[in-house]
Structure 1
């Protein structure tokens, strides 16, 4: 694939979920999942994010997933990004070096995540990654649980220091956050949570590495396309998606202590679009699939568009 510029990274990007058979990677089911996402014609696919469990993969497993995704996407012309993130800067750099030849559209990185980095250390890290990327753009993944959650102004500083930085994956924020985004990082592709995409697009965001796509990638794509010609209806659907998330998904985190990745994986079970299962890799807990019928019934009631 051709490396994408910031203004070319947009829309609904679906996550590639890891699939575990007991405690081993089931690469056959991962390949089937990639084929399904390609058939659904999403705007792009990315691997090795939080729900892809980059933090739990061996280096051999990372290489296997990355190579499978690249082979299928390069063959079909599907844009794809590879997450080279790791808590260790050294391992992240080595992952990046190993995937450059796969020609991803961009790569996703997190900041080193044991000690919180300073602005200077973050810039030094990203500069080294950019040097190794051989022209492939960097997308900074900065989730709410990162040791260092950056403001738009701080991301703007890094963007000025590292021209190869083309995108930001973030939780977004309120109106003041978007005002700051437009002021400090107008040249980056900014991706916000999937269930907040319509209001995010309205405020100037570029797209989403989408939790809504975990529920149903094809439906998330139809909704994203709808935003181009019917924003009012798209915002109305967003309101129902927010209600579903707040009432039936978020409590698994706030009340029962499951991690975010377990919730995204559970939504794929609720949506039933791929054979990925609810299993998280040890030591993380998985949401029992016995919860799925109850949550699926509420999802069908609130967002029937995601079950067509």
Structure 2
């Protein structure tokens, strides 16, 4: 493996690597390779593995290694930036994932705070320092999603990350105007990655470096064009954001709110609606999958309501 190289700050539109799952619950690695190639061809700013949508919580360590090796090999050949998610609820397993991920020289490694039992601030700092040691100089991205057992406030995140300088960015949920004010006050030195469907608002509020994007699940190329528009056509980008949120609220969120499907199921539904790759809607057991017929039904609606994403 190549020697460690400097890692510049990251930002922009990062596409999630979604796992194509066969009927027998195996990962279809041939389709996974095809998916990576499609994302590279789409020209996204980067690809990240093993976020929630990558089902990091439901794979073996052998599968983890194979996924990351495939991503690293294809991205290195094409000079595509990549981030590896080493997330795992068990801290010792996660630290071992961090060590193995670092050997592949990603742009950064994403970790979560172990949450079988929520960590105190001091415990969070201890963990992040240990993760930094395991990463051996590769920067860290802290993932603090809204479904974490402990969702830290901007002030808490700022204090924890200040004590662990290897953390260069945070993937997090945003909030109202007061939340953004707190984020500007306490998180100004970090690259913040807001939810994909709120990217234009995050840019307008002056805090968003980019997004690990659910909009890229729907359309990697369309999300890339939209991301570029937040830099030079912000009013138009905000208008598209409003329509994306309207589409999500009307057609996607009800699958979670009313029918109990997971966020992973929703992201795979978005990918199937976009119909850009071989992912499908199937999740690994025991999680329920949304029927592919729903994706087919919503495909025309998405094209009519969000035509800019499918040019």
TM-score range, shorter chain: over 0.9
Residue 233 of structure 1 corresponds to 236
Residue 33 of structure 2 corresponds to 31
**The one of 58, 75, 88 aligned to 1:73:** 75
1:260 and 2:244 matched:
no
Deviations 1:131-160 (A, max 9, x none): 111111110111110011011111111111
Residue 10 of structure 2 corresponds to 9
**The one of 264, 271, 276 aligned to 1:273:** 276
- Residues 86 and 109, structure 2, Cα contact 8 Å, conserved in 1: yes
Q: TM-score, normalised by structure 2?
A: 0.97
Residue 85 of structure 1 corresponds to 87
Pairing of 1:184-223 with structure 2 (within 5 A):
184-203=186-205, 204-223=207-226
1:46 and 2:48 matched:
yes
2: CA distance between counterparts of 1:21 and 1:298? 27
Q: TM-score, normalised by structure 1?
A: 0.98
Residue 131 of structure 1 corresponds to 133
2: CA distance between counterparts of 1:21 and 1:207? 32
Residue 303 of structure 2 corresponds to 300
1: CA distance between counterparts of 2:162 and 2:11? 21
CA RMSD in angstroms comes to 1.0
C-alpha displacement at 1:297, in angstroms?
A: 2.1
Relative to 1, partners in 2 of residues 1:292 and 1:80: Cα closer, same or farther, differing over 3 Å?
same
- Residues 3 and 137, structure 1, Cα contact 8 Å, conserved in 2: no
**The one of 117, 120, 124 aligned to 1:118:** 120
C-alpha displacement at 1:301, in angstroms?
A: 1.8
Residue 56 of structure 1 corresponds to 58
Residue 19 of structure 2 corresponds to 18
1: CA distance between counterparts of 2:246 and 2:120? 37
Q: Which runs of 5+ in 1 are unaligned?
A: none
2: CA distance between counterparts of 1:96 and 1:262? 26
- Residues 102 and 109, structure 2, Cα contact 8 Å, conserved in 1: no
1:288 and 2:291 matched:
yes
C-alpha displacement at 1:229, in angstroms?
A: 1.1
C-alpha displacement at 1:108, in angstroms?
A: 0.4
Deviations 1:87-122 (A, max 9, x none): 000000011111211000000001001001100111
SS of residue matched to 1:290: helix
- Residues 37 and 45, structure 1, Cα contact 8 Å, conserved in 2: yes
Residue 177 of structure 1 corresponds to 179
Q: Which runs of 5+ in 2 are unaligned?
A: none
Relative to 1, partners in 2 of residues 1:202 and 1:11: Cα closer, same or farther, differing over 3 Å?
same
Moved over 2 A (4+): 1-5
Pairing of 1:139-158 with structure 2 (within 5 A):
139-158=141-160
C-alpha displacement at 1:3, in angstroms?
A: 4.9
SS of residue matched to 1:236: helix
Relative to 1, partners in 2 of residues 1:255 and 1:3: Cα closer, same or farther, differing over 3 Å?
farther
Deviations 1:153-209 (A, max 9, x none): 111111111010101001111111111111111111100111110011111211100
